[in-house]
Each structure stands twice: as structure tokens, then as C-alpha cells.
Amino acid sequence: MKFAHFSHIWGKPGMTPHRRYEELWRELALIRAGAARQAKPPPLRPDPFAAFAGYSTNVMAADTMLHLGEAPARRLRDLMALPGAIVRGGLLATPDELGHVIAALGPGPLPTGAVLAAIPEHRRRIVARSLVWLAKFDLVRIVLARSALSPSVRIRPRE
């Protein structure tokens, strides 16, 4: 930070160190006072883009297409071997269910609804949540259907 006035005062002959510091503090007080006048008042509500940045833009629907990532069966085994990589309890599908999803997608892409149709109804929500977890590790790739896209998302044709 460059002080417009102070740089001339500091080297002025005949000033005591005490006087130099008093001049520095006076100039800093003037700078702070000027900055306070220019500051904008805090907003009444937070910026919505910052507040909701962690939320999903799109929703996975029954017609959302699922594709396999690279070597998903091997990578799933590797992940299952890492302590803490798979959240235990009721949050994610069982290893058998995750393996079933990967096996179902082996012949080719399928819509989410078709993958979930083979799962018992009482487990479908958990397996659906696990599809997103599989996508996080690129074991499964999600191609959103037009019905799932928010209005602000534009679909571009593949080149």
C-alpha cells in the first residue's frame, strides 16, 4: 500500500520517530475513514448464486440415460477395499446392488427407470441415490434427459 502523504514525511529531516509515527497513524485514520464511506451496506439477503451454489442444477429422471464409465467393475472392487470410501448403513446401495447396476449397464446404455425397475421397490430410492455416487467416481456416466434440464441449461448437439 502506498501512502501519498506519508512517504514524504518519513524522510523529512528534523522529525522525531514519535512525530513520524503520529503522522502515519493520522494518515491511516484518514484512509480508513475514506474507505468506510465508500463501502456498500451489507445485503439484507445473501447472494442466491453463492447461497445455492452447492445445490444440484438438474434432477435425474426415469428417462435419464446411464452409461458405464471405464472399467467400472474393477474400480468398484478397488473402492470397496478402501476404508471409508463406501458409506455404510442405509445411505448407499449394498455392494451387490451396485454390482447389479454395473452388470445391467454392461450390454449398453439404459434409462434410469429401466435400471431401477429390476430393483425391489423398497430399495429403489437408495439405489437411485447410489447412481449419483457411482457417477461421482465415474463408474457410471449420466446423460440428462431433456425433461430433467432446468430452463437455464441449453442443450447443444454433439459434434
Proportion of the chain above pLDDT 90, given as a percent = 16
Q: Is the pLDDT of residue 123 over 60?
A: yes
Q: Which residue has the cell 459434434?
A: 159
In a domain, 157, yes or no: no
**Cα separation values, 158 from 24, 108, 155, Å:** 62, 19, 9
Q: pLDDT value at position 152?
A: 45
In a domain, 44, yes or no: no
Q: Is the pLDDT of residue 115 over 90?
A: yes
In a domain, 57, yes or no: no
Q: Give the tens place of pLDDT for each residue, 56-104.
A: 667 788 888 999 988 888 888 888 888 776 666 678 888 889 889 999 9
Q: pLDDT value at position 113?
A: 93
**Same domain for 79 and 28?**
no
Computed over every residue of the chain, the mean pLDDT equals 76
In a domain, 79, yes or no: yes
In a domain, 17, yes or no: yes
What does DSSP assign to residue 155? Answer: P
Of residues 137 and 52, the one with the higher pLDDT is: 137
Proportion of the chain above pLDDT 70, given as a percent = 66
Q: pLDDT value at position 32?
A: 76
CA 82 from chain centre, in angstroms, equals: 23
Q: Which cell goes with 92?
A: 448407499
Q: Which cell goes with 109?
A: 446404455
In a domain, 49, yes or no: no
**Same domain for 144 and 72?**
yes
**Same domain for 31 and 73?**
no
Q: Which domain holds residue 133?
A: 65-148
- Number of compact structural domains in the chain: 2
Q: Is the pLDDT of residue 1 over 60?
A: no
In a domain, 50, yes or no: no
